[in-house]
Amino acid sequence: MSQAPRRVTIRDVAARAGVSIATVSRVLGGTYPPAPATRSKVMKAVRELDYVANPHARALSGATSKTIAIVLNSVISPYYAHVAQGVQAEAARHDRLCLIGITGGDAARELATVRLMREEGADAVILVGNVVDDDGYKTRMAEYASALAAAGSQLVLCGRPSLGPDVPSVNVEFDNTGGARAATSHLLSAGHQRILYLGHRVGYTTSEGRIAGYREALAAFGVEHDPGLEVQGTWERAEGYRLIKKRLQSGPPDFTAVFAANDQVAAGALKALRESGLRVPDDISMIGYDDLPPAEDIGLTTVHVPHEELGRTAARMVLERESAGAGHVMLGTHIVVRDSVRPLARPR
């Protein structure tokens, strides 16, 4: 096979001139210019080698690219990461860069990030995830929406409820309640009636949507709702572990199944159950929510949320629409059956 002729690089120029690459770069870039003698040596080598400055170097001083921005609390959460991945994929398809701002859950940093993205000229600013849907939140979002619209950009809410028809924003949700109803029904169909709901975050929209589905399924199956089975907690792995440990301190389990608010909570709960000598699914059945790592690795039956599709849809709604405006999409969820639920032998 013949080889394409090797392009002359900045390294070759540096070698020929007997200087460092950084020196060549300084001469060509005109920044931090070195001594005139050095400059002459470099320019001589450039001419002799017929060096064409790298397209990269030229592009580095080119015009600003169009961007689409996404603002997250954290990138460690696989939930956020997978939504961001969807936005990135769709942005690339439309020749946009994808910028992610991280707030750490801090409102002041969220504000500063939205402002930065607006100044950046982002086509859209996508905010993702669980919120407390109170007056302060609604006001803040209305202000973002107006400020972005005024700059020719757009506010997109992803996995959050709509702000209503008056606020110029695009909205992509998934069916939290439907998924939770299906998950609970799956356990009820297997004969479980004492189902521990693990990790309810009161007031948070995603959490309220999920627990509503749990309650609806109980009602549909005619199973009495025991508020003592609804355990409040945050959505981390360590919290799932802690909640089960605490619950089992006072005696044997008063439940035959666990519906964890998300897969992380399920992973922590699984560990705590095992440490207490309880096997899943032999002794306790378990179902999670999200279908994100580590659900597959721990064989967890869970509710699949189309995270990447959420991000893709959000980006697509902004980039493929002819003019800015409102819009609302609700994506479906479904159960993924693995190996963490077992039918309960019913007492006769």
Query: Footprint of its own copies on residues 150-169 (CB under 8 A)?
Result: 150, 166-168
- Rounded Cα distance, 125 and 293, in Å: 27
Tokens for 341? 């639920």
- 91, exposed or middle or buried, with CB in 10 Å at 0-12, 13-18, 19+? buried
Segment 252-311, which members bind its own copies (CB under 8 A)?
267, 271, 293-294, 297-298
Q: Tokens 């589905």 map to which residue? A: 213
Q: 199 or 213, CB closer to its own copies?
A: 199
- Position among 5, 37, 50, 62 found at the interface with its own copies (CB under 8 A): 62
Strands (E), the chain: 67-72, 97-102, 125-128, 155-158, 169-174, 195-200, 230-232, 257-260, 285-287, 302-304, 327-331, 334-336
C-alpha 337/C-alpha 302 separation (Å) is: 7
**Window 21 to 40, contacts with its own copies (CB under 8 A):** 21-23, 25-26, 29, 31-32
Q: For the segment 119-148, give every residue that binds its own copies (CB under 8 A).
A: 119-120, 135-136, 138-140, 142-147
- Residue whose CB is less far from its own copies, 108 or 345: 108
Size of the site for its own copies (CB under 8 A): 74
Smallest separation (angstroms) from its own copies to the CB of 332:
22
**CA-based radius of gyration for the chain:** 27
Considering the complex, what minimum distance in angstroms separates the CB of residue 55 from its own copies? 9
Interacting positions 65-84 with its own copies (CB under 8 A): 65, 67, 74-76, 78, 80-82, 84
- C-alpha count within 13 angstroms, C-beta hemisphere, residue 56: 3
The one among 10, 17, 280, 317 contacting its own copies by CB under 8 A: 10
- Which range of residues in 95-103, 170-178, 212-220, 249-257 is near its own copies by CB under 8 A? 95-103
Cβ distance to its own copies smaller for residue 243 or 324: 324
Residue 260, class by beta-carbon neighbours within 10 Å (0-12 exposed, 13-18 middle, 19+ buried)? buried
How far is the C-alpha of 190 from the C-alpha of 346, rounded, in Å?
9
| Residue ranges in 211-250 that form contacts with its own copies under rule CB under 8 A | none
Binding flag, residue 334, its own copies (CB under 8 A): no
